[in-house]
Amino acid sequence: MSARERVAGGTASFIDERTGAAKWMKKTLTKVFPDHWSFMLGEIVMYSFVILLLSGTFLTFWFDPSMREVEYEGSYEPLNGIKMSAAYASALHISFDVRGGLLMRQIHHWAALIFMAAMVVHMMRVFFTGAFRKPRELNWIIGVALLTLGIVEGFLGYSLPDDLLSGTGIRIAEAIIQAIPVVGSYLSYFIFGGAFPGEMFIQRIYAVHILLIPGIMLALITAHLMLVWYQKHTQYPGPGRTEKNVVGYPLMPVYMAKAGGFFFIVFGVTAFLGAVAQINPIWIYGPYNPGQIGAGSQPDWYMGWLDGLVRAAPPIETHAFGITISWNILIPGLIIPGIIFTLMAFYPFIEQWMTGDKREHHVLDRPRNNPNRTAIGAMSLTFTLVSLINGGNDLLATHFDLSINQIMWFSRIGLIVLPPIAFVITKRICLSLQRADREKVLHGRETGRLVMLPHGEFIEVHEPLSPEKAYVLTAHEQLPALEIGEADENGVANPQGFKGKLRARMSKASQEQISKPTPKEMLELEDGHH
Amino acid sequence: MSETNRELEPLSDPGLPEHVHRKTDVDPLAAKKAERQVSILFTLSALGTILFVYAYVWIPEDTLIFLPLFNVTNAHQLFLGLGLAMALFFIGMGAVHWAKTLMPDHEVVDYRKEQRSKDEDRAAFVATVKDGAAQAGLGRRPLIKRSLGLALGLVGISPILLLRDLGPLPENDLNETNWKAGTRLVTDPGDRPIRPSDLEVGGVAQVQPEFPAGKVRHLDDIAQDSVLLIRIRPEEFNLDAERLSWTYEGIIAFSKICSHMGCAVALYEQTTKHLLCPCHQSTFDVTRAAKVIFGPAARPLPQLAITVDNEGYLVAKAPFNEAVGPSFWGRDSQ
Ligand code: HEM
Ligand code: FES
């Protein structure tokens, strides 16, 4: 036994004798993880969260979350002698007078963008493959909570430096709070410690940004990962992969090395972006002053769709009995996002209700094999994308020489018309992909090779699929639509009434499929060949 | 359903494909080569750290260099970042390459069990809960149950009450600004009173109410008091008699705080006489008392009535007759 082995053995036995962990550890280290690029998206989210914690902690060593007025003295000449908040001055100090400070600020901001982007893409992968189905609904809900918290956390983050751009964002947030019926102005006065902008705000959102939300997120991420661990990972359909097993690589050493290595790669890429790609150059904007504004004020992209909705809102307010209700703020700022996030959180249960399928699922769907779900996803993405585009309407107008008026009417109409169109098109595409799959299984793959038949006709050679490939294309199950009784013979509507009819329609829509080849068809075909 | 369904499946599961050996598994030379590649990657990381240290210590913080794609950049920050990026990235690449080429790549199979517990466990669990509840005896002792409910219901009041001191009540704050009848308009920045002749036709100026000596102007004041003065030719106004009387020799004054969500309405287009808010592009027509002609704002910008005092300086004729800034529940917008 080498010295090193003795030390390793000694440590393991020290721990085990005090915790009895050996059995659990052995099971843990041989835990199986399926391998697929799309399973790395969640990892990117997790790693950028760690990067955010690390770089953010570095920034707290110098950042001064105070709105006390100071006169700037520092290396950035153009602002010398200018009055500003201590928060803004310290952010300038980090950028210009702390070695590596600007790098860390930029890494922190880039990591936030990557975090949000990876979360959205991870979520899309979970949605389109049906990974949220039973038993993983809880993880989906945790995910929606994380996404919501991420948006808020990011917004508070770029509000901290108290530059002109961030102050403008806060002003808008304040207007949304103030628009809340009955309690709005009270809430605003409590949050800001008086009239906007007051002198308390930065230190308050600082506590929320560095402690409260990250703490909640950390707890949620832990729960999220424990569930992934405990429920075991889903896997894509393929030979040897069933609902009862999970095929992949053991945690120790392969998965550990790959995942650990991947952390450093993500960190490296983020550091590279922080080094070469300028982001949020606060010194250009100047200190916040409610009487001023920079042209082209834009939030970060994950807020951009909300801004786009606000921009598209029609100018409607209700005035009556000495009160004012601002629909132009409430609808895009609170009501629509509220509906979207609620529907999103409940989607797993909505789908269960539509399909009546309450069984566990561990083998993922190929998106085409669930046309209805895929179309719902495409519809939601279209809605978000149109509002995101409208959030940049001023930039688009100047870059492409359009009038803002044109873009806004495009968006107002597009927000209503384009999502249903996307739904229909996506569903069609899925069904024709299913048809293509069916053809492939029955008649083989087109090879592009032409041969001449004796009587002169050219036909393309079709190569039969390998059994593995053919299995992938046929492994999914196709559920029949739910049967929900119509009106009985006396003409009395069925007891479930409207709800039942709705459910029957939904179920029919969600089970619309091109039926896959039946064994009989396969056999007939084989007979035909021989 | 699944059993019968499986029989109907067109194809049976061919099972896991045969394991294919990698070159590094069978060829010791290839394995040796992979080992060298991994160590080169790790060495690159070490070089990255050296670059980082070099930049930290020896590149002065104010060195600017020109890079083709990035224009002029601060060399100190750039090389710190590149060093760090290299150091991290190549550790990762080394580890992944190592795992892919040299660590075992046999896929293994693990088995799942249903998440749902066995029926007898579930029954036992329910029984335990019922038993526990029975032992606590809540059902038998309604007095305890109700008083506990009362206590729990009330205990939340304390933390909520504690938050009360977060801020004062708005009272009538949102309806008031520092503009009074006779308050002089002073330039922002500069705090100088202005005469009508200081503003040419086509000109714009940002003003604040004059403060008595010793009173400091806070951001809260600016957030409510900021006013834009615009001068056009008087015959270009398209106003009713009252609003016209609020202007002075072609000078008209509006709150600069957007009636939509409170951004500063900063862009004035001289040719169209439109005021544009850069936040959501609400556009206001100056000649028609800032009527909204585009965008999500639902109300015109409040107009401040102005005139001149006996020394010839511009003053407010009266306070704003409505609240400035974004709407709120208690705002009287009639
Ligand atoms: C801080 C945010 C998040 C972190 C750190 C995180 C991390 C992870 C990781 C590492 C996995 C396993 C690998 C994978 O399937 O990609 C996972 C799985 C999962 N995530 Fe997330 N995720 C986050 C946000 C979200 C969001 C926004 C959603 C959806 C709304 C979501 C839903 C799920 C579900 C349902 C699974 C289980 C999927 C499966 O086993 O295949 N997560 N997450
Ligand atoms: S704040 Fe001016 S348009 Fe929204």
Task: Inform me whether the pLDDT recorded for A107 exceeds 60.
Answer: yes
Helix axes A336-355, A137-159, angle to 10 degrees: 170
pLDDT at A77 over 60: yes
Q: Is the CB of residue A149 less than 8 Å from the CB of residue A213?
A: yes
Q: Give kind and range of the element (H or E) at residue A248.
A: strand A245-250
Question: Which CATH number applies to B175-316?
Answer: 2.102.10.10
Distance, CA of A260 to CA of A40 (rounded, Å) = 12
Which pLDDT score is estimated for A462?
83
Domain with CATH 1.20.810.10 in chain A: 37-52+105-365
C-alpha span between A462 and A450 (Å, rounded): 10
Nearby residues of B186 by Cβ (< 8 Å), 6 or more positions away: B192, B193, B194, B207, B208, B209, B210
Is the pLDDT assigned to residue B105 strictly greater than 60? yes
pLDDT value, residue A522: 76
Closest CB from A260, A441, A467 relative to B14? A467
- Whether A487 has a pLDDT exceeding 70, the answer reads no
> Using the beta-carbon criterion (under 8 Å), do B329 and A183 form an inter-chain contact?
yes
| pLDDT tens digit sequence for A356-399 | 889 999 999 999 999 999 999 999 999 999 999 999 888 888 88
Tell me the two tokens of residue B205.
Answer: 């100026």
Residues with Cβ within 8 Å of residue A314, at least 6 apart in sequence? A328, A412, B296
**What is the rounded CA–CA span in Å between residue A236 and residue A229?**
17
CA A130 to the chain's CA centroid: 15
Asked if residues A399 and A371 have their Cβ atoms less than 8 Å apart, the reply is: no
**Ligand found nearest the CA of A328:** 2
In this predicted model, which residue has the larger pLDDT, B139 or A283? A283
- B212, pLDDT greater than 60: yes
The answer for residues whose C-beta is within 8 angstroms of residue B244's C-beta and 6 or more apart is B237
Which residues in chain A are closer than 8 Å to B78, comparing Cβ atoms?
Answer: 275-276
In the predicted model, what is the mean pLDDT of chain A? 91
- Tokens coding B71: 């224009």
B263 phi/psi in degrees, rounded to 5: -70, 165
pLDDT of B1: 34
Work out which ligand 1 atom sits closest to the CA atom of A232.
Answer: 40
- Measured between beta carbons, the chain B residues lying within 8 angstroms of A393 are 281
CA–CA distance, A22 with A10 (Å, rounded to integer): 13
Residue A16, Cα to own-chain centre: how many angstroms?
Answer: 40
What ipTM, to 2 d.p.?
Answer: 0.91
Chain B environment of A135 (Cβ under 8 Å): 115
> What's the distance, Cα to Cα, between the start and end of chain A in Å?
65
Would you state the pLDDT for residue B6?
A: 44
Cross-strand partners of B319: none
Chain B partners within 8 Å of A194 (Cβ): 167-168, 220
Using an 8 Å Cβ cutoff, are A92 and A74 in contact? yes
pLDDT mean over A444-453: 82
Supply the pLDDT for residue A119.
97
Residue B263: the pLDDT is 94
Is A467's pLDDT higher than 70? yes
Identify which of A343, A340, A346 has the alpha carbon closest to the alpha carbon of residue A138.
Answer: A346
How many whole angstroms separate alpha carbon A257 and alpha carbon B93? 10
Cis peptide before B189 (omega within 30 of 0): yes
pLDDT for position B134: 87
Q: Do B110 and A232 touch (CB under 8 A)?
A: yes
Task: Say which amino acid occupies A183.
Answer: V
pLDDT score, position A402: 87
Amino acid B4: pLDDT: 38
- Of the candidate ranges A171-180, A414-423, A482-491, B57-66, the one whose mean pLDDT is the lowest: A482-491
Lowest-pLDDT range of A51-65, A399-413, A419-433: A399-413
Tell me which residue in B73, B76, B328 faces A178 most closely, judged by beta carbons. B328
Q: Residue A67 pLDDT more than 50?
A: yes
In the predicted model, what is the mean pLDDT of residues B297-317?
94
Class of domain A37-52+105-365: mainly alpha
The answer to whether the CB of B327 falls within 8 A of the CB of B321 is no
Which residue would you say has higher pLDDT here, A339 or A486? A339
Give the per-residue pLDDT at A226: 94
**A450, two tokens:** 């032409």
Residue B5 has pLDDT above 70, yes or no: no
Among A168-182, A324-338, B113-127, name the one with the lowest average pLDDT: B113-127
Q: Is B280 in the pocket of ligand 2 (CB under 6 A)?
A: yes
Q: For residue A144, which atom of ligand 1 is closest to its CA? A: 30
- How many C-beta atoms surround the C-beta of residue B11 within 10 A? 20
Average pLDDT over residues B148-167: 93
Mean pLDDT of chain B: 90
Each residue's pLDDT tens digit, A327-363: 999 999 999 999 999 999 999 999 999 988 899 999 9
Q: Is the CB of A151 under 6 A from ligand 1?
A: no
- Taking residues A64-83, report their average pLDDT: 94
**What pLDDT does residue A512 have?**
87
Share of chain A above pLDDT 70, in %: 96
Dump pLDDT digits (tens) for B27-62. Answer: 999 999 999 999 999 999 999 999 999 999 999 988
Q: In angstroms, what is the span from residue A59 Cα to ligand 2's centroid?
A: 32
Which of A179, A323, A474 lies nearest to residue B11, judging by beta carbons? Answer: A474
Cβ atoms of A195 and B173 within 8 Å: the answer is yes
Q: Which two tokens stand for residue B70?
A: 């990035």
A19-to-A5, A13, A229, A252, A421 alpha-carbon distances in Å? 21, 10, 21, 21, 59
